[in-house]
Structure 1
Amino acid sequence: MTDLVAVLTDRGRVRDVVSYALREARDADDATETTVRFSIPVGRTGDAVPSATGETLAERITELVADSPYGSLDVEVATVPVGRSTADDRVRALVEAIPATATDLVLMPGFTEFTAATLADALAAAGRSGVAVERAPVDRRIVRSPVAVTSTTARLVATFGLAYAFYLSLGDPTEPFDLATGAVSAGVVTLVLGRVTFETEPSLAGVGRVLRALVFLPYLLWAVVRANLSMAAVVLSPRLPIEPSVVRIPAPEGRIARALLANSITLTPGTLTVDVTDDELVVHALTAATRDSLEEGSLSRAVDFVVHGRGEYRTTPGTARMAAETPRGDRR
């Protein structure tokens, strides 16, 4: 017996992903008995959904399966608790929830916290290298997070603290008048913006991320200055040694990390992020030096340090080959 596991959240076309997983299982069922398992990550971090949402989503998946022409298949729908753990713990929880008989893992396009390569690496590390990982080839619906979120004590306290600290930084924290008016102002800000300040629940991990970002900022500024000087030298050179190319580099884990890396690359002269896919960033590089720097991954490691506190750069086989095979244009 072989198993097909599909990871779903509420961000995307659930019906299309369920239909795709069932069709794949039916095709495989011609040769072997196949069980389809729909896993829903439940927690308060990453792409996990709250418990109540997970239960509602599980009921919807069950209804979709019953209404489909593949209702005779052996189907399981289960939630995978990931809590408020770190990204590594969430990957581990997902891998541990995959049955030992599983041969295929299908990711919903809206589940963007981890790339297919990241989960494949985690499976291989757990001795499960035989599991094929792919994104469901269905159209991805753009799902925007709501502007307002549920007010919690942690969000309100964090909003008040940030507003109060900012107010005192502009005044005199030793002056009673500033202390009193700052508290009133921070209270008003909390009442008005308490539901829009934080997308996720504030935690100590978030504080560490902010502190690491303060270290990253001068590093990025230095990279921008250095790239400006390099581009100036290229422009002023009589030979104009440009070598345009398109490079594909591995995308980091998580929406925040991908957005930070994509924008950091674009801010650095000589490079421009053209597209962001589930597993890769497509970047236009103007010179061979900028292309080599992207493939070396120093900026990617810095972003991984900010977001995840690791400073790693995930390489994928063929990255350099794909870059080398991309037409680089003519020197002008």
Structure 2
Amino acid sequence: MSESSARILVPVGESSTFRNTVAYAVREARRVASETGEEATVHFVYPVRWQLVDEREQSVAEEVAETLDKARVWATDDLDYDDDGELASEDVPVSIETAVIGEDRYLFSPGDFATVLLDYAADRELDRIIVDPEYRPGGSAPMLQPLELELARSDLLVEEAPVERVVERSRLPSRANVSKAVTMFAGSFTFYLLLAGVFDTFNLVTGAVSAGIVTAVFSRITFVNTPDASRFVVRTVRFLLYVPYLLWEILKANLSVAYIILHPDLPIEPEMQRFRAAIWGDLSVTTLANSITLTPGTLTVDMERDSLVIHSLTQSSRDGLEEGALERAVRFVFYGRSAARLPSPAERGAISSLPTTDDTEEDA
């Protein structure tokens, strides 16, 4: 592969260097195309961590569309000028494309983001990836370097746009950072005191010191979004309502499994299924996966790119999954009452059986 390419992929998101990265990418595409005669194209893509299933996601989708529109407008504007800021004299066409990717997958790790980017590049025969130095995959800045390392494992040319970072200088910390620090300190301090079990002077002091250290080290990298006190309170109340419901489901499942164990014929029908749940995000997916596991008769075995792999013991367990009661309950906790009103997994075709080892051997 040549040392440069005019077929470029740029993952985008709001950042202080977003504008300059767009300018660098389109000018690089035009420069290489003018030197090599290669067809020039720049694809601006926005990897997302959600699935479009209700009004809340629709508003987020509109924000993503606005970001991609910015990239297209800026790119078109920059193509009229050369690197010195003068009107371009050479008429070298550069195709500009925008796309949203990753809606059909659960994106958590840098490897997940790298996979969807590389798949997109392979499908469209793009040879080069330019990364915004302030790009925050999944909203988490510390993921950028691991993402670049994952991308570098491919045969594509991967580079960080050589644009100047904007250094924000302020005597006072931003409201977002203060909110993150307060939330982290309160959570760490409370957890320490709960573990200690004694609220004497020693534990109060050591707890405050420990929470302060944790806050200083982790507050800026723990939260994807700025903590919202009102949203936290609302979610906590919803979760408190969810706990008794989950305990009731666990009790019913325990009785069902106990009946099976005591039955002389042991009427079980084990099966593996793939479940594409209408949720996203680390905490919500983890909550659903653990809730399924805590309910006897079902076990979350693995989480694939776009689904949960679930082992179910009986047909009644599978019927429960297809009705989607747990899924709706988890959506209620994280997204509100309106988000719980959605078609069941069975109606959406979100659950499918996976072949077992015996099935594979029979096919062979």
Report how far residue 212 of structure 1 moved. Answer: 2.2
Question: Within 1, Cα distance between the matches of 2:38 and 2:283?
Answer: 38
Pair 1:111–1:233, CA change in 2 (3 A):
closer
Pair 1:61–1:240, CA change in 2 (3 A):
farther
Which residue number in structure 2 is paired with residue 192 of structure 1?
Answer: 213
Report how far residue 306 of structure 1 moved. Answer: 1.8
Instruction: Please report the RMSD computed on the Cα atoms of aligned residues, expressed in angstroms.
Output: 4.8
Query: Which structure shows the higher helix fraction?
Result: 2
2:313 counterpart of 1:286: yes
Whichever of the two has the greater Rg, that structure is: 2
Preserved CA contact (<8 Å) 2:292 2:300: yes
Per-residue CA deviation, residues 136-188 of structure 1 (Å, 9 max, x unaligned), is 6379xxx99859xx99211222233335556777567xxxxx6x777644541
Matched position secondary structure for 1:152: helix
Which residue number in structure 1 is paired with residue 83 of structure 2?
Answer: none
Report how far residue 238 of structure 1 moved. Answer: 1.5
Per-residue CA deviation, residues 49-72 of structure 1 (Å, 9 max, x unaligned), is xx2475686578668857698963
Pair 1:181–1:207, CA change in 2 (3 A):
farther
Pair 1:75–1:104, CA change in 2 (3 A):
closer
- Structure 2 residue identity aligned to 1:230: S
Report how far residue 311 of structure 1 moved. Answer: 2.2
Report how far residue 190 of structure 1 moved. Answer: 3.3
Question: Within 1, Cα distance between the matches of 2:46 and 2:97?
Answer: 20
Pair 1:213–1:64, CA change in 2 (3 A):
farther
Preserved CA contact (<8 Å) 1:244 1:329: no
Per-residue CA deviation, residues 237-296 of structure 1 (Å, 9 max, x unaligned), is 122211122222223222222222112212221112233233322211110000010111
- In the TM superposition, 1:33-182 aligns within 5 A as 38=10, 40-42=12-14, 51-52=15-16, 54=18, 72-75=39-42, 77=44, 87-96=57-66, 105=99, 107=101, 112=106, 137=119, 152-163=177-188, 170=197
Pair 1:191–1:98, CA change in 2 (3 A):
closer
Preserved CA contact (<8 Å) 1:247 1:284: yes
Q: Which ranges in structure 2 are unaligned for 5 or more consecutive residues?
A: 48-55, 73-95, 109-115, 122-137, 144-172, 360-364
Question: Within 2, Cα distance between the matches of 1:77 and 1:272?
Answer: 39
Preserved CA contact (<8 Å) 2:270 2:314: yes
Per-residue CA deviation, residues 23-80 of structure 1 (Å, 9 max, x unaligned), is xxxxxxxxxxxxx9856232xxxxxxxx247568657866885769896334365889
- Structure 2 residue identity aligned to 1:223: E
Question: Within 2, Cα distance between the matches of 1:41 and 1:196?
Answer: 23
Preserved CA contact (<8 Å) 1:243 1:328: no
Pair 1:146–1:264, CA change in 2 (3 A):
farther
TM-score w.r.t. length of structure 2: 0.53
Match of 1:244 among 270, 277, 280: 270
2:235 counterpart of 1:209: yes
Matched position secondary structure for 1:41: coil
2:361 counterpart of 1:318: no
TM-score w.r.t. length of structure 1: 0.57
2:322 counterpart of 1:298: no
- Structure 2 residue identity aligned to 1:256: L
Matched position secondary structure for 2:223: coil
Q: Which ranges in structure 1 are unaligned for 5 or more consecutive residues?
A: 1-18, 23-35, 43-50, 81-85, 115-133, 173-177
